[in-house]
Amino acid sequence: MATISFFEKIKKGLTKTREVLTTDLNDLFSKKVIDKELFDKLEELLISADMGPQFTYDLIDDVKKRVSRHDLQNAGQIKKIMQERMIAILQKIDKPLIIPKGRPFIILTIGVNGSGKTTTIGKLANSLKSNGHEVMLVAADTFRAAAVEQLEVWGTRVGAPVIKHKTNADPAAVVFDAMAKIKAGFAGVVVVDTAGRLHTRVNLMEELKKIKRIINKEMPEMSPEILLILDATTGQNAVVQAKTFKEEIGATGIVLTKLDGTSKGGVVVRIASELALPVRYIGVGEGLDDLRVFDSVDFTNALLVS
């Protein structure tokens, strides 16, 4: 029963993208003839869902070759080919975050302003606590008092202590204190909240690098998960952000938020094909349990299967 509700939750969360794709695809594939007009409309549809030019080109090229070999009898079969290609791409980034119990694990969250970072941290902390992990939150967004307060609200809600300093303190100093807690015996998951920043702001990116250096210096035996929080509603801009954060900070995984609020859920495919960064979680709603581990088969089924 839990599996059904899990799938239905994802399906509901992807409603906007699903409606664009399935409604238009079904209309398109109801045609009997596979011709240039069909290809043109299919290209427009996939680009509008932000699946990216490379996926779109490869899919259409594949279909054209199959048509020339007489492997396709009708347009409806294209949908199955599309799903198979999506799964093949998405399985490469279908790598859940494995967090061992009983020993420290560090998650550094990064992302631009408004990506839903602090809320995602709260949901992630709740999920971790539900799975039996100890959790500590670190308020390294010291520039906004509201950010610290928001994190403290989440900490109280899920039962996780919060490490904080005064407003405008050095974020790296807060992280240093958190590392001291690990050295003193804390054996759970340390989740670090950082200030939202535009990927184009060099000084703020340097600050993130400093935080990363502190973690590496104090805990050289650990490789922190650097979790990039991306807002799915920004579509291709999310891909641009991800490229920069991967190159500059060394992001190791992605959380794609606000999938329930966009018709551009196909951006997951583009992220997978262009960045090869694991998508650890997807956000499909406002509820506490609406942060879900990404699963490529569930995702494509929720998107394309009636």
Quote the CA–CA distance of 145 and 168 in Å, as a whole number. 9
Q: Which whole-number Å values give the CA distances from 171 to 72, 106, 207, 304, in the listed order?
A: 58, 16, 8, 44
Query: What's 266's DSSP letter?
Result: T
pTM of the full structure: 0.88
Write out the chain's pLDDT in tens, 306 residues: 344 456 777 777 778 787 777 777 788 877 767 888 888 988 988 888 888 888 889 888 988 898 888 888 777 788 888 888 889 989 988 899 999 998 999 999 999 888 889 999 999 999 999 999 999 999 999 888 788 999 999 999 999 999 999 888 999 999 999 999 999 999 999 999 998 766 566 677 888 999 999 999 999 999 999 999 998 888 888 888 889 899 989 999 999 988 887 777 788 888 888 888 899 999 887 888 888 899 888 888 888 875
Most distant CA atoms of the chain, gap in Å: 69
